[in-house]
């Protein structure tokens, strides 16, 4: 965690006092700790335990099912005292250290506190959670005591946790006990047999179906090592029986390999560097290694699966430094693209996947999300990212392979997205079991009118029209590259027409912003919202109106001091603790920052960078969560956490890199082997920034960016003879 510190830094004019005070960590809500690899993750409470609470999200999960629902440790029936908990980016492991409290015994001498030291390290690899416990006696005399591990496996589906009870579920099998292991089993209603195997090394002194007792006999300064391996296996996907040493070596090599090829960004400010490092580490932690390439899981604990929208936006946010992630996202979503109308899945030909879920409830269609397409924005974002990827890399073979899918996506926009032929893309769910709202603000109360009345569909969201505008522009550029000038001209014409009707029907002069949405009767939802800022990101906003939108976003009812709220505080439904009606979302702010930079207001983009960085100082591990509350910023107080936010969350992790790009006005053109900086702005207190291993076309370069009074000096330290650097002030 960062050390307490005080920094004074400028913020946007008109948003408050001339300076804001950034302090170090403030008291936090109870944290949780997470480990992940592929489709397996473990969530522990603040003390490093998995408490046996059915509705708590803690546990060891595999394939959308909780394979371990309890894991606690006792010393002679006493709860150990937690000394420290820490996450290691070197091998994606968690370390917890404990000691004993005062332990009185009937008829014998008590054990003084802080006699026994317990060091526990855990990591997850290949469907298995590995734990090492090192016990050391720091007392002056021999120590005779017992450790007891208590455990359970409830095989709850992720959708059961925090949700209504299922009317029916599968059958728990009798535990299988041996001298050094216990195996739980569950036969689901989906016909899948699932097993959890707990292996204890050395063998337990007493082992039952719910507890393992180990007797410790330690001389003064003597230590001993206890190992627990928890393997998850499903019918058809057995667990790999790696030893702890083999798994640790493989996990460390994966982290080291990732660091070797990825682009690194750093500054002289240590806290800012930690924030950037956290973003990079979390992207590594969350990324699936699929046959189609890397794909980021949306977030933990609720979204450890590919999501279309989340993957696309995450890839866009870090495209400038990790183009390989975009290639993996595009390739996977192209293969998963819908080819038929399937109402139960909200699927239509050409539509891009919203999410895919493993697990018993999804397989049985108790929830519709096994393979679900209820997203109005993933399809245009897919086309938008494809165009941005080609500009960034010049990778023509990938674009040629993607073009049939891009074409299908464009046809979906025209034929299914525009349901009534008015030129706007709307959504209306085909299945009652699906999402009512199908933009990124998908909570039931997210889209409403000025009087608070909920909007009825089909609904056309303002930011989605921007995505469609940018998608058509991107597709036009790709069609030109592929030699189809006629298609390119038609797409540009469609984009221009959309922009014209968008300005006519979404603009609200008295609010100086774009309406949140149009409802099914084409009535504008006259609500000031952050999504108008995303219309700057896509370029659909007329420059004069873009200026008014930008100014409004930094007024006190929109800008909390920690970031831009989803809904202005003046709105009827505003709630600073509301998921989409007043909270601050880092990815939303990052896209707004890109929009500000697009129109030349890099100084405002830098203000958002400073605000979100300041917020990161108050969260564990400098990790920005999925969202946080939109309460007004006060001196000496940090932002207020949203209680159910995912952390880590992929598009929040990538937001740091997106904000850096926006402040610098940076774009990478792999077609022309060029780096372009337009009106670069950089907060001077962050000092010099360095970028290493940045791919630019066929070259790999290192950069140094040095702030000064007149702007930013940019030096290419390596690869300068092959890369053209353009600075537009």
Q: Which of 664, 683, 710 is the last residue of a domain?
A: 664
Asked if residue 480 lies in contact with residue 488, where contact means CB atoms within 8 angstroms, the answer is yes
Say whether both 358 and 317 belong to one domain.
Answer: yes
Tell me the percentage of the chain whose pLDDT exceeds 90.
82
Q: Has residue 15 got a pLDDT over 50?
A: no
Say whether both 176 and 286 belong to one domain.
Answer: no
Say whether both 462 and 362 belong to one domain.
Answer: yes
* Average pLDDT in the chain: 92
Asked if residue 588 lies in contact with residue 460, where contact means CB atoms within 8 angstroms, the answer is no
How high is the pLDDT of residue 261? 64
The CATH number that applies at residue 68 is 2.70.98.40
Per-residue pLDDT of 641-666, as tens digits, reads: 998 899 999 999 999 999 999 999 99
For 442-523, strand residue ranges (E) read 460-461, 507-508, 513-514, 517-518
Q: Has residue 3 got a pLDDT over 60?
A: no
For 319-368, strand residue ranges (E) read 355-356
How high is the pLDDT of residue 243? 87
Say whether both 65 and 183 belong to one domain.
Answer: yes
According to DSSP, the β-strands at 103-105 and 108-111 are antiparallel
How high is the pLDDT of residue 141? 95
At residue 108 the predicted structure's pLDDT band, cuts being 50, 70 and 90, is: confident
Strand order in the sheet with 666-669: 666-669, 674-678, 724-728
How high is the pLDDT of residue 162? 76
Instruction: Give the whole-angstrom CA distance, residue 487 versus residue 479.
Output: 6
Q: Has residue 17 got a pLDDT over 60?
A: no
Residues spanned by the domain of 613: 262-664
Q: Using alpha carbons, list the distances in angstroms from residue 206 to 121, 143, 167, 412, 565.
A: 23, 19, 36, 62, 55
3-state secondary structure at position 456? coil
Q: Is 496 part of any domain?
A: yes
680-704 mean pLDDT: 92
Say whether both 213 and 305 belong to one domain.
Answer: no
Q: Is 326 part of any domain?
A: yes
Nearest in space to 126 (alpha carbons), one of 13, 315, 273, 254:
254
Say whether both 590 and 628 belong to one domain.
Answer: yes
Q: Which residues contact 542 (CB under 8 A, 6 or more apart)?
A: 499, 503
319-327 mean pLDDT: 97
Q: Is 46 part of any domain?
A: yes
Asked if residue 173 lies in contact with residue 211, where contact means CB atoms within 8 angstroms, the answer is no
610-634 mean pLDDT: 96
Q: Has residue 464 got a pLDDT over 50?
A: yes
Q: Which of 664, 688, 703 is the last residue of a domain?
A: 664
Q: Which two tokens stand for residue 387?
A: 């165009």
Instruction: Give the whole-angstrom CA distance, residue 426 versus residue 408.
Output: 18
Split into its structural domains, the chain has a count of: 2
The CATH number that applies at residue 326 is 1.50.10.10
Q: Is 636 part of any domain?
A: yes
How high is the pLDDT of residue 701? 92
pTM: 0.93
Say whether both 277 and 215 belong to one domain.
Answer: no
Q: What does the DSSP 8-state code read for residue 31?
A: P
Say whether both 238 and 287 belong to one domain.
Answer: no
Say whether both 210 and 301 belong to one domain.
Answer: no
For 349-353, 442-446, 696-700, which range has the lowest pLDDT when averaged over its residues? 696-700
Say whether both 438 and 524 belong to one domain.
Answer: yes
Per-residue pLDDT of 205-257, as tens digits, reads: 999 999 999 999 999 999 999 999 999 999 877 667 888 888 888 888 888 87
Q: Has residue 393 got a pLDDT over 50?
A: yes
Per-residue pLDDT of 111-141, as tens digits, reads: 999 999 999 999 999 999 999 999 999 999 9
522-539 mean pLDDT: 98
Q: Is 221 part of any domain?
A: yes
Instruction: Give the whole-angstrom CA distance, residue 105 versus residue 76.
Output: 9
Q: Has residue 306 got a pLDDT over 90?
A: yes
Q: Which two tokens stand for residue 136?
A: 């050391």
Q: Which of 664, 683, 713 is the last residue of a domain?
A: 664
Q: Is 577 part of any domain?
A: yes
Instruction: Give the whole-angstrom CA distance, residue 327 versus residue 18.
Output: 43
How high is the pLDDT of residue 263? 87
Q: Is 341 part of any domain?
A: yes
Instruction: Give the whole-angstrom CA distance, residue 299 versus residue 311.
Output: 10
- Answer with the residue of higher pLDDT: 362 or 16: 362
How high is the pLDDT of residue 91? 85
For 296-310, 420-434, 600-614, 714-728, which range has the lowest pLDDT when averaged over its residues? 714-728
Q: Which two tokens stand for residue 128?
A: 């298995």
Instruction: Give the whole-angstrom CA distance, residue 677 versus residue 263.
Output: 18
At residue 596 the predicted structure's pLDDT band, cuts being 50, 70 and 90, is: very high
184-207 mean pLDDT: 96
Q: Has residue 10 got a pLDDT over 70?
A: no
At residue 260 the predicted structure's pLDDT band, cuts being 50, 70 and 90, is: low
H-only helix segments in 554-641: 586-598, 602-616
How high is the pLDDT of residue 672? 93
Q: Has residue 14 got a pLDDT over 60?
A: no
Say whether both 588 and 446 belong to one domain.
Answer: yes
Say whether both 392 and 289 belong to one domain.
Answer: yes
352-363 mean pLDDT: 95
Q: Is 717 part of any domain?
A: no
């Amino acid at each position: 965690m960062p050390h307490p510190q005080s920094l004074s830094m400028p913020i946007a004019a008109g948003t408050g006092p001339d300076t804001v005070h950034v302090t170090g960590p403030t008291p936090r809500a109870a944290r949780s700790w997470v480990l992940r690899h592929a489709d397996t993750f473990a969530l522990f409470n603040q003390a490093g335990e998995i408490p046996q609470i059915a509705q708590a999200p803690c546990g060891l999960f595999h394939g959308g099912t909780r394979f371990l629902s309890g894991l606690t440790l006792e010393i002679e029936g006493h709860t150990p005292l937690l000394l420290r908990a820490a996450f290691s980016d070197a091998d994606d492991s968690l370390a917890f250290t404990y000691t004993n409290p005062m332990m009185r015994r009937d008829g014998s001498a008590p054990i003084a506190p802080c006699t026994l030291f317990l060091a526990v390290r855990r990591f997850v690899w290949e469907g298995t959670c590995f734990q090492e416990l090192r016990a050391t006696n720091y007392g002056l005399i021999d120590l005779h005591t017992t450790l007891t591990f208590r455990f359970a496996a409830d095989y709850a589906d992720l959708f059961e946790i925090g949700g209504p009870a299922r009317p029916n579920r599968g059958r728990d099998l009798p535990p299988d006990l041996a001298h050094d292991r216990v195996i739980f089993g569950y036969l689901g209603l989906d016909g899948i047999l699932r097993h959890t195997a707990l292996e204890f090394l050395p063998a337990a002194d007493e082992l039952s179906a719910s507890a393992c007792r180990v007797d410790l006999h330690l001389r003064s300064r003597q230590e001993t090592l206890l190992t627990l391996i928890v393997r998850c296996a499903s019918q058809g996907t057995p667990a790999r029986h790696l030893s702890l040493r083999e798994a640790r070596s493989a996990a460390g090599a994966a982290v080291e390999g990732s660091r070797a090829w990825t682009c690194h960004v750093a500054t002289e400010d240590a806290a800012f560097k930690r924030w950037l490092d956290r973003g990079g580490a979390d992207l590594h932690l969350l990324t699936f290694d699929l046959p189609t390439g890397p794909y980021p899981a949306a977030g933990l604990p609720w979204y450890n699966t590919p999501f279309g929208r989340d993957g696309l936006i995450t890839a866009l946010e870090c495209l400038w430094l990790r183009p390989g992630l975009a290639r993996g996202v595009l390739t996977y979503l192209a293969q998963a693209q819908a080819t038929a109308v399937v109402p139960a899945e909200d699927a239509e030909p050409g539509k891009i996947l919203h999410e895919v879920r493993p697990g018993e409830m999804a397989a049985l269609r108790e929830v519709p999300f096994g393979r679900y397409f209820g997203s109005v924005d993933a399809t245009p974002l897919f086309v938008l990212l494809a165009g941005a990827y080609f500009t960034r890399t010049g990778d023509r073979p990938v674009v040629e392979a993607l073009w049939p899918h891009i074409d299908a996506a464009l046809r979906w926009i025209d034929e299914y997205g525009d349901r009534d032929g008015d030129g706007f893309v709307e959504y209306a769910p085909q299945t009652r079991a699906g999402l009512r709202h199908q933009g990124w603000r998908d909570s039931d109360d997210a889209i409403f009118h000025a009087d608070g009345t909920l909007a009825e569909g089909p609904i056309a969201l303002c930011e989605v029209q921007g995505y469609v505008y940018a998608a058509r522009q991107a597709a036009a550029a790709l069609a030109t590259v592929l030699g189809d000038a006629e298609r390119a001209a038609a797409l540009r014409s469609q984009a221009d027409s959309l922009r014209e009707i968008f300005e006519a029907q979404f603009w609200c002069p008295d609010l100086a912003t774009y309406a949140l949405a149009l409802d099914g009767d084409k009535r504008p939802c006259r609500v000031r919202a952050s999504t108008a800022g995303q219309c700057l990101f896509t370029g659909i906003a007329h420059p004069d109106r873009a200026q008014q939108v930008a100014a409004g976003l930094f007024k006190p009812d929109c800008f909390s001091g920690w970031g831009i709220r989803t809904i202005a505080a003046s709105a009827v439904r505003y709630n600073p603790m509301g998921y989409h009606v007043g909270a601050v979302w880092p990815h939303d702010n990052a896209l707004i920052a890109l929009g500000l930079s697009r129109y030349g207001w890099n100084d405002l983009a830098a203000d958002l960078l400073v605000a979100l960085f300041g917020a990161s100082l108050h969260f564990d591990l400098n990790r920005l969560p999925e969202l946080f509350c939109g309460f007004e910023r006060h001196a000496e107080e940090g932002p207020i956490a949203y209680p159910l936010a995912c952390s880590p969350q992929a598009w929040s992790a990538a937001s740091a890199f997106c904000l850096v790009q926006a402040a610098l006005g940076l774009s990478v053109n792999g077609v022309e082997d060029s780096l372009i900086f337009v009106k670069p702005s950089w907060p001077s207190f962050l000092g010099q920034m360095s970028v290493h291993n940045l791919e630019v076309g066929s070259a790999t370069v290192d950069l140094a960016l040095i702030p000064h009074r007149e702007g930013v000096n940019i030096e290419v330290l390596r690869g300068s003879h092959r890369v053209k650097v353009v600075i537009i002030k």
